[in-house]
Amino acid sequence: MLTSLPFERASKAPGVGIAPLRRTPRSLKQEYQEFILHRLEEYKNTLPRAELLQIGDEAVRELQTSAQDQYLLTEVLLLEHVDRIIARRLRLPSFPRWRQKHRALREAQREPTHWGFDRGHPIVPWAARVEPGDVVMVLGAVALPEALFLAAHDAEVFLLDQDLGAVEAAEGRAVAEQLGGGAFQALVINFGSWFPDLAPSLVVIAPACLAPLRAKQRSSLIADIQVRTPSGGVHVVLPPANESRGVIPLAPEALQTLYRGWQVQRGRRAKRAGFTAIKPPRQHDTAQPVMNVSD
């Protein structure tokens, strides 16, 4: 769970709300192995079949030369050696060299300026409260910088959008930032019919992604996510981004009415500055999830 949830700012005594569940973050070795595996698969996907077969023949020759009939040449050994040949071609870094660069990159990614926003952004205070492995749900590919910012803080981030092209672009950016794999997943979903089975402690909503929905669909979607959110969980509704032509903007105020009974904190910078809503401890959920049932 998120730590130090400020449900009641007047009460700063320890033990308020739900005690955080500490999770073990992925080791650097695991992240390195994911990085190497992704680079290898990415390279293989760019090669024609004939060239892949040539690498396989090269691997067979090298293994036969080094083995000198000391062991049986198996498919597993062959595949592993193919990966080693490709790693040589790509000059992939060793673990110590990768670790040094990775630490510097991750430190930079944990600064909001890396993603184009400042410390006054409404998501920044919550990044410090994210526990390793916390489930974070981000609605709208336009909020990709916020999603990757939270992934850099070891959250398990799920970015949801209805646009396939936007999701594919998000996946590409995550890979470029070395935040793919278990830290970040982008999913194409239909907000009106199906929703992944997640229990997010932090939800980030870009209002623009909900603009195409009817008011009843938006209400059902938000109600479903509210039920899934544990007590003490947080929803951050972002300020409206620069809307593209042809898109009818949806103001954050249109969603605020759906958070009755939650503690709502308005942004201070402008009228349409978004808001943060915190689910009260031990709130009895009266709404029922409806988004997993097709119309």
What's the pLDDT tens digit per position in 146-157?
Answer: 999 999 998 899
Q: Residue 1: its pLDDT value, please?
A: 67
Q: At what angle do helices 28-46 and 75-90 cross, to 10 degrees?
A: 90
The residue-averaged pLDDT of 48-76 equals: 81
Averaged pLDDT of the chain:
81
Nearest CA to 250 out of 242, 260, 240, 259 is that of 240
pLDDT digits (tens, 9 = 90+) for 193-223: 788 889 999 999 999 898 888 889 999 999 9
DSSP 190: -
pLDDT digits (tens, 9 = 90+) for 116-127: 998 889 999 999
Could you tell me the pTM of the whole model?
0.73
- Distance (Å) of CA 286 to CA 59, 251, 260, 289: 62, 26, 12, 10
* 227, 128, 243, 276 alpha-carbon torsion, rounded to 10°: 50
Q: Residue 291: its pLDDT value, please?
A: 39
Q: How confident is the model at residue 192 (pLDDT cuts 50, 70, 90)?
A: confident
